[in-house]
């Protein structure tokens, strides 16, 4: 339970402020009553009065309570962090508010938010600070010929007339060098501005980023990620085993849903933005264990030329454009545990030639993944985008 601390003040300054406030009020009232000033003059004086009040009383938000939750500390104390909403820090000034509207169905058109740009500074081991340069930008989305109006008029991905698929066009280009390949997907992005920028700007461009479909300004975030060299996945909320107690949102794909209902929800999800090469799951243990539900899901993706990369929950299904993560790297939210998972990922890649990891955009996950990736080449591995692990010879 949080409460505001009582605000105390010296009596004399308080009286002086009260007097000045009264003078400002009288000025505003006299301006309104004076017929010679007119509406325009009264409005001007009102604005001046408002500015005076702010100067006298200070920041109107200064008394608002602020709460910040350390995810690392929460993990160390054994606090359960079951889902993405619990992983969000409260918004600071300039960020989109994390209210229920974030999870509501948005009817904003594609491209309603301008691309966001910026730079980041990270602290390297030893305390040295260095700017992180963005990777070579990927082609701006949408790419001509790979999008068409859907049933409701919203744009949906399609396979091009020449057979080119969105999975191919929007994937990050990759040339193998013969070393074991390690890929990493970091998800849950778009719901918190600070965490999203942190992931986009501090992780190497080879790291694949996945975005929540309910995010406001989703197209702007995807544009920013691609401008920094990251390929992008869109998250499909799927029914978990403990649904509806654990509810992934209003467009959850249900295991028992009719094929036309699953298709309708998928089309809504796919129309939220463009520029992604495929989908990934958010939750979905029950949905992905239901063959009829997955057949409908994969059928829609195949028809639209999209890949599917899951977090390991779906098993290792075959087919073009499929990949399944070998391990989730941040089930235990501590730097030491995450590093152990990343080392295990390297071991899997050395044994099989490639390995894929999955994680959530917790601050500790992003920081540890960025540090781990810096020395990957020296340890004899090649960092690859997730799309490179979906391709079949």
Q: How confident is the model at residue 317 (pLDDT cuts 50, 70, 90)?
A: low
Tokens of 212: 């929540």
The tokens 């340069």 sit on which residue?
133
Between 273 and 64, residue with greater pLDDT: 273
pTM of this structure: 0.68
Tokens of 203: 């992780």
Of 90, 101, 98, nearest to 68 (Cα)?
90
Residues 124-128 have a mean pLDDT of 35
pLDDT of residue 150: 85
**Cα-based distances in Å from 237 to 25, 103, 224, 286:** 54, 12, 23, 12
pLDDT of residue 82: 37
Average pLDDT over the chain reads 76
pLDDT in tens, 158-195: 999 999 999 999 999 999 999 999 999 999 999 999 99
Is pLDDT at 328 greater than 70 in this prediction? yes
CATH of the domain spanning 86-95+120-389: 3.20.20.370
Question: How large a percentage of the chain has pLDDT more than 70?
Answer: 63
Is pLDDT at 257 greater than 60 in this prediction? yes
pLDDT of residue 248: 94
Residue count (the chain): 393
The domain ranges of the chain are: 13-57, 86-95+120-389
pLDDT in tens, 201-253: 999 999 999 999 999 999 999 999 999 999 999 999 999 999 999 999 999 99
pLDDT in tens, 72-117: 333 343 433 333 333 344 444 443 433 323 333 333 333 333 333 3
Phi, psi torsion values for 92, nearest 5 degrees: -95, 175
Q: How far apart are CA 377 and CA 230, in angstroms?
A: 19
Q: How far apart are CA 214 and CA 234, in angstroms?
A: 10
Is pLDDT at 269 greater than 90 in this prediction? yes
Residues 29-38 have a mean pLDDT of 42
pLDDT in tens, 40-70: 444 444 444 444 443 443 433 333 333 333 3
pLDDT in tens, 274-293: 999 999 999 999 999 999 99
The residues near 243 (Cβ < 8 Å, ≥ 6 apart) are 252, 254, 286
Q: How far apart are CA 332 and CA 266, in angstroms?
A: 31
Q: How confident is the model at residue 313 (pLDDT cuts 50, 70, 90)?
A: confident
User: Strands 327-328, 147-149: parallel, antiparallel or unpaired by DSSP?
Assistant: unpaired
């Amino acid at each position: 339970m949080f409460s505001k601390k009582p605000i105390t003040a010296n009596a004399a300054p308080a009286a002086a402020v009260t007097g000045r406030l009264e003078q400002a009020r009288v000025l505003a009232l006299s301006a309104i009553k004076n017929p010679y000033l007119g509406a325009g003059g009264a409005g001007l004086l009102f604005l001046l009065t408002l500015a005076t009040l702010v100067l006298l009383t200070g920041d109107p938000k200064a008394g608002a309570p602020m709460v910040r939750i350390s995810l690392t500390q929460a993990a160390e104390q054994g606090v359960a962090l079951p889902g993405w909403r619990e992983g969000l820090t409260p918004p600071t000034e300039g960020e989109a508010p994390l209210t229920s509207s974030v999870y509501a169905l948005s009817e904003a058109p594609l491209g309603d938010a301008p691309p966001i740009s910026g730079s980041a500074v990270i602290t390297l081991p030893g305390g040295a600070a260095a700017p992180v340069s963005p990777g070579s930008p990927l082609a701006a989305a949408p790419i001509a010929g790979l999008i068409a109006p859907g049933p409701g008029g919203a744009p949906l991905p399609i396979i091009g007339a020449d057979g080119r698929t969105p999975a191919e066009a929007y994937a990050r280009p990759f040339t193998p060098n013969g070393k074991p390949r390690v890929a990493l997907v970091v998800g849950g992005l778009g719901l918190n501005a600070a965490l999203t920028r942190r992931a986009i700007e501090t992780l190497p461009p080879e790291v694949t980023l996945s975005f929540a479909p309910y995010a406001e300004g989703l197209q702007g975030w995807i544009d920013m990620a691609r401008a920094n060299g990251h390929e992008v996945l869109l998250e499909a909320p799927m029914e978990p085993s403990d649904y509806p107690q654990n509810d992934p949102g209003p467009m959850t794909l249900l295991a028992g849903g009719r094929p036309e209902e699953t298709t309708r929800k998928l089309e809504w999800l796919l129309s939220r933005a463009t520029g992604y090469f495929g989908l990934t799951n958010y939750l979905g243990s029950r949905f992905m264990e239901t063959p009829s539900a997955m057949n409908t899901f994969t059928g829609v993706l195949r028809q639209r030329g999209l890949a599917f990369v899951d977090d390991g929950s779906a098993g290792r299904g075959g087919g073009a454009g499929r990949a399944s993560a070998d391990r989730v790297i941040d089930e235990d939210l501590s730097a030491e545990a995450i590093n152990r998972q990343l080392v295990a990922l390297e071991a899997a890649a050395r044994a099989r030639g490639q390995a894929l990891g999955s994680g959530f955009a917790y601050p500790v996950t992003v920081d540890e993944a960025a540090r781990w990736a810096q020395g990957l080449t020296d340890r004899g591995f090649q960092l690859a985008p997730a799309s490179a692990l979906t391709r079949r010879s």
